[in-house]
A = this chain, B = another copy of it.
Amino acid sequence: MVQKDKNEFPRERILDEAELLFARKGYHAVTVREITTRAGCNLAAVNYHFGNKENLYLEVFKTRWFPRARRIMNAVDKALESRERISISAVIHAVASAFLEGPLTERERELHFQLMVRELAQPTEAFEIVAGQIMQPFFQKLGAIISPFLPGKMDEEQLMLSMFSVFSMILHLNFARVAVTRLTGREYDAAFRARLVGHIVEFSLNGLGGIYREESE
């Protein structure tokens, strides 16, 4: 049996380590030496495979972050497809659950949101992928699904702000764990994540206009 624990391709190992380190410490705090050492290959490998450090960072988004974002979006789709009737409640639950409990492992989730927050706070070239290819289509699609259920008076901007609100909770509860743990005294285990999903759904459902609560299920 050949060792399969670590990827056999140095290029892939570099991408894995780079993502981990960029997420945890930020672009400038990470050195190419650190990445290549942890990836078990030579310093020059980064330049050979990616040209330079900046390009490696971009490649992390293209080959790691982006596919994972797609996995989350697919999880939302799948959760909604399996239902006959769609309700706002179901949509919010599907979204919150996909992000907080969904297809990613805990480790992946942490990486994913850390990278995302870094780009939101201080956009680089990678922001184009995050915003243009993921966020915009995602919000657009979600808006189209839930707008028929909402009061006619809710205009497009209001809908967008509401989706931001929901998304901000999801984001916050994922990336500000240190604060959440400190102030609630709870660890991020499965039970707590389920609790968070429940809270987000309830809070958002009311926030979107409590009247629509009992529409289905």
Binding site for B on A (CB under 8 A): 24-29, 114, 117-118, 120-123, 127, 131, 135-136, 139, 157-158, 160-162, 164-165, 167-169, 171-173, 175-176, 178-180, 182-184, 186, 195-196, 199-200, 202-204, 206-210
**Can you identify 23 A-B contacts, CB atoms within 8 angstroms?**
A27-B29, A28-B28, A117-B117, A120-B176, A121-B121, A123-B178, A157-B195, A158-B199, A160-B183, A160-B184, A161-B184, A164-B172, A164-B173, A165-B169, A167-B172, A168-B169, A168-B172, A168-B176, A169-B169, A202-B207, A206-B207, A207-B207, A210-B210
Q: Are A196 and B28 within 8 A (Cβ)? A: no
**How long is the Cα–Cα vector from A182 to B139 in the complex, in angstroms?**
12
The oligomer's copy count stands at 2
**For residue A183, which residues in chain B have a CB less than 8 angstroms away from its CB?**
131, 135-136, 139, 160, 164
A24 to B27: give the CA distance in the assembly, Å: 14
Distance in Å: Cβ of A28 to nearest Cβ of chain B:
4
Distance from A210 Cβ to chain B, minimum over Cβ atoms (Å): 4
Q: Chain A contact residues: over half helix, strand or loop, or mixed?
A: helix
CA distance A179 to B129 in the complex (A): 12
Closest Cβ of chain B to A96, distance in Å, is 12
Distance in angstroms between the alpha carbons of A125 and B195 in the assembled complex:
30
Contacts of A157 in B (CB 8 A): 184, 186, 195
Known pairs A157-B184, A158-B199, A196-B161; A120 contacts B173 (CB<8 A) = no
Known: A136-B182, A165-B200, A202-B207. 8 other contacts (CB 8 A): A27-B29, A135-B179, A157-B195, A158-B199, A161-B195, A162-B203, A164-B180, A203-B208
List, in ascending order, chain B residues with CB within 8 A of A200's CB: 165
CB-CB under 8 A from A180, the residues of chain B are: 164
Are A203 and B207 touching (Cβ within 8 A)?
Answer: yes
Q: Are B165 and A199 in contact (CB under 8 A)?
A: yes
- Within 8 Å CB of A120, what residues of B? 175-176, 178-179
